Amino acid sequence: MTKAEWFLALAALTYPSDVKRAQAGLAPYLPWFDDLPLEVFTRESLEAVVTSPRKMAIPSYDEVRRPLAAWWRDNRPAPQRLASEYPALPGPAAGEQREPTEIERQAVSEMLQAFKASTSYGKSSAQKDEATKPTPRYLADRQLLAEYEKVAGDSRYPQLQRDAAAYRARFLRAKLGLDSYAQAAE
């Protein structure tokens, strides 16, 4: 089954009442799956994606990618097959220490690259999410107050966001003793 056939079948199975609409909705996803080998697009992987929970009738990119990646992680060929593609290198004779030859270095480099390629896709989504998670940035109370006051007075922000920023700024002013009510009480 080709990747295009797989997506056509996915469209027909996920939204059978309007297959053309489903095909149009899924067509933009095709280029985003070029990093996967053709062995991923099987009847079994299609079943895993179709039966996975989704929020919409036509699945979003995430609702296709996650179950497909999970299925591939569980069903891809074992990495041991890569070792058979490379000949075993002879080790040094007993007591003999020498620098590796250029051919040996190249063979090890190729094996490492093949290993990295076979395992880089296998990371769980939690590991990927953790790697891309932004690092928190903390502001001092006065800096935070200045930012909230900027948002509260800026008409480019929605009214709800400005109201929330004004409320937080009022709280910080009181905390810092800058609020007119707090100053009058002293």
pTM: 0.43
Place of tokens 């996967």: 36
- Of 75, 101, 130, which closes a domain? 75
pLDDT at 184: 47
Burial of residue 111 (number of CB atoms within 10 Å: 0-12, 13-18, 19+): middle
Does residue 104 fall inside a structural domain?
no
What domain range is 167 assigned to?
141-185
Number of domains in the chain: 2
Does residue 157 fall inside a structural domain?
yes
- Of 75, 95, 110, which closes a domain? 75
Does residue 36 fall inside a structural domain?
yes
Does residue 146 fall inside a structural domain?
yes
Low-confidence ranges of the chain (pLDDT < 70): 79-87, 89, 91-95, 118-136, 179-186
Q: Looking at beta carbons, which pairs linking 36-40 to residues 24 or more positions away fall under 8 Å? A: 36/68, 36/72, 36/121, 38/2, 38/3, 39/76, 39/77, 40/68, 40/71, 40/72, 40/76
pLDDT at 125: 60
pLDDT at 71: 92
pLDDT at 2: 87
- Of 75, 99, 120, which closes a domain? 75
CB 162 within 8 A of CB 151: yes
Does residue 50 fall inside a structural domain?
yes
pLDDT at 113: 82
